Structure 1
């Protein structure tokens, strides 16, 4: 609750700044994530990029270097999905504290078929051992279904 008060004080002190929410009351959350595999030329770490919208309003965005070197583009994408899932979970928790309840699934859009197959496959293969924790995180959130922290992973075509 302290964080919410800080945000409100900040917005009160800066009336010309803020973000616009849609008038139609659409409180659906949509998230997009991507990664740039081995983009850092010195240490070959990948970048995670994400943005999250509430209704049509952008409420969170981030670009950050991943903490470990990914062995494949699928691994880099899956790590980006895991970070986005954590951000969505935090936003849903914050909205719940503010008595704003999201009644629909959160749609997570990404563009990697291999990452989609890893998320859907309950059997871990030798080649995916190194990202097992991220797999468990995302699969667990998908399987929670209709709970407050529900996420539906969709693949862009």
Structure 2
């Protein structure tokens, strides 16, 4: 499925008035993990209240022990501080990387903004070396904009 087709599917999930926010987030994770061959783990982390940490809310893929990530730690924690996309073609080359699986070779993390505030992020792990392109970044930015609308509506 192309990114254009996936965008339409994401819009359908977000607009479903009969589904909870958490179920919609999980459905988006499952959609991406199932339809993009090199998206082996997809998750949404969000700021954990007033604490300087992220908490895993929804994911698709193997379960992870990393349900809480302090700001600044790992790729996700760095994005929580930098407010910038972070594409890691080779996780072994990163000093501040938290290994979630021995199979992960690359990671992309895109911050999620609501009303200008970085409230979370989408995190993708790949078992493929250097798979992410500018198209992945743009597509995941689109996904996060849709999720931001969903969160702003609260439904």
Decide: shared fold, TM above 0.5.
Answer: no
TM-score, L = length of structure 1? 0.32
Compute the TM-score of the two structures, normalised by the length of structure 2.
0.32
Larger Rg: 1
